[in-house]
Amino acid sequence: MSTFTFGNDIRRFHRIQLLGKGAYGKVYKARDSLNNTFVALKKSLISMDEEGIPTSTMREICLLRQLSHPGVVSLLDVIMTDSSLYLIFELLDQDLGTFLSSLDNLLSEEQAKRFLLQILKALYFCHSRRIIHRDLKPQNLLLDANLNIKLADFGLSRIFQIPMRPSTTSVQTLWYRAPEILLGCTTYTTAIDIWSIGCIFAEMVAGVPLFPGTSEHNQLYAIFRIMGTPNEENWSGVGSLPRYSTDFPKWSTILMKNLFPRIAPEGQDLLEKMLSMDPNKRISAYDCLQHPYFQGMN
């Protein structure tokens, strides 16, 4: 468990550069004058119309207190002022999306495999502690100077119980959203994270997103064109999902060996298992780590 304490002096942090902004607030590169180190300062605005801290921010704080792992970004401190809440994180150099965009050539399979192994180790750590991330994408995977990768942004994450309880389907960025979420399933599992990581692995080796949809409906078709249109024969129970239709166009599955010929056969097999349309057949993070693709790797 993280050992950070709740601080009370934001003045010790000197902002240097705006790193990003969104609905959550803004993230800055800052220098901590107390120990002369650089950090990432996430500023979340507290609306006067709301009662207390935003739910997503409070959830992120609570979950990160439980996640002390080399593959998960470290939350160093939390500081509250009258109008803002500041989360102080370790500073990493860039995110995976920025890194991939900066390359002149495709990422080597060996490097993609190394990234994938690191991601899966961190994800298994989360899942073994009953935490689903629910928003895995290249922008939420951060890299340090030695190209070690870490999971970040746990604002949409949640702790789950078995049996699974109904949850919102307003999770996951569109291109990395699992088909069961797109079809309206509310009792989803950790399998949705595995789907996202499968999409990211494919993007690392191909250099482009695998399923770049423009809307939820278009996203489903982007998936079906490659993975095949699901039916009761290959996905038991799919017909009962709220957004499923027997009128969906019928596409056949394209084999991974045809889509990604430069990946080793073991990698093609793992990717196929990660992108199983039926979440009940999708491989777990633990079983991913035991897969022959990673034989001989630490």
d(CA 17, CA 21): 12
The one catalytic residue among 9, 93, 95, 135: 135
Q: Is the pLDDT of residue 2 over 60?
A: no
Average of per-residue pLDDT across 62-89: 89
**Which residues are annotated as part of the binding site for ATP?**
42
For residue 84, the cross-strand partners are 45
Bridge partners (DSSP) listed for residue 31: 14, 38
Catalytic-residue membership of 95: no
Query: Which pTM was predicted?
Result: 0.92
pLDDT of res. 51:
58
CA–CA separation, 219 vs 224, rounded Å?
9
The model's pLDDT over 138-179, given as tens digits with 9 standing for 90+, comes to 999 999 999 999 999 998 999 988 878 888 998 999 999 999
Write down all domains in the chain, each with its CATH number in brackets: 6-90 (3.30.200.20), 94-294 (1.10.510.10)
pLDDT of residue 48: 46
- Reply yes or no on whether the pLDDT at 45 is more than 80: no
Q: Among 73, 149, 147, 146, which residue's Cα sits nearest to residue 116? A: 149
Angle at 4 between CA 161 and CA 194, to 5 degrees: 35
Contact 138, 202 (CB under 8 A): no
